[in-house]
Amino acid sequence: MSKVDRRILKTQEALKKAVIELMSEKNFDDITIQDLSDRANVSRGTIYLHYMDKFDLLDKLIEEHIDERESACQLDFIEATLIFCEYFESHYSFFSLMLASKGAPYFRNRFLNFLIEEFRKEVDVTGGKNHGLNEELIVRFVASAYVGVVEWWFMNEKPFPQDVLARQLGALLERNV
């Protein structure tokens, strides 16, 4: 495994921070490469050394957050949801921009698709309460509900602590999957 140059990491972090800050000020479509360059204090050419365009930058940022959550999916629903919600809380500015402000509808779709794939591994339609139901319907229902509840929590500025959200959402998942 090769070691990544600290300067590269520092530049990429500055660009990620810049895009989040700019998205809190204006619509993503209105953000220019020059805006990113100015905010991150790097040249336009430096941006293109790391990313194809602003969409690639946003995509990598989203991918990073989703990939970090993948390991939590090996746990039971309540434990996994506790880890997810702690992560949501510690990265509040990112997730509130991505979900509550509708600043990046693309993130919502990526998050939803990630959950669909994870829940697909958990759904059992061969017996029990889901016997006879369409697996795809169950998976999409549960994933959409999960995203909807998390989105609601952010849009309402966390009406209760993240551990309450996690325990109740985890309990609902256990009942339905």
Q: Is 56 contained in some domain?
A: no
pLDDT in tens, 98-131: 876 655 677 888 889 988 988 888 887 787 888 8
Q: Is 57 contained in some domain?
A: no
Most trustworthy range by pLDDT among 1-10, 31-40, 122-131: 31-40
State residue 121's pLDDT score.
84
> Are residues 151 and 122 part of one domain?
yes
Question: Residue 18: which domain range?
Answer: 6-51
pLDDT over threshold 90, residue 46: yes
d(CA 176, CA 125): 11
User: Helical H runs in the chain?
Assistant: 6-25, 33-40, 44-50, 54-70, 77-90, 92-95, 105-120, 135-155, 162-176
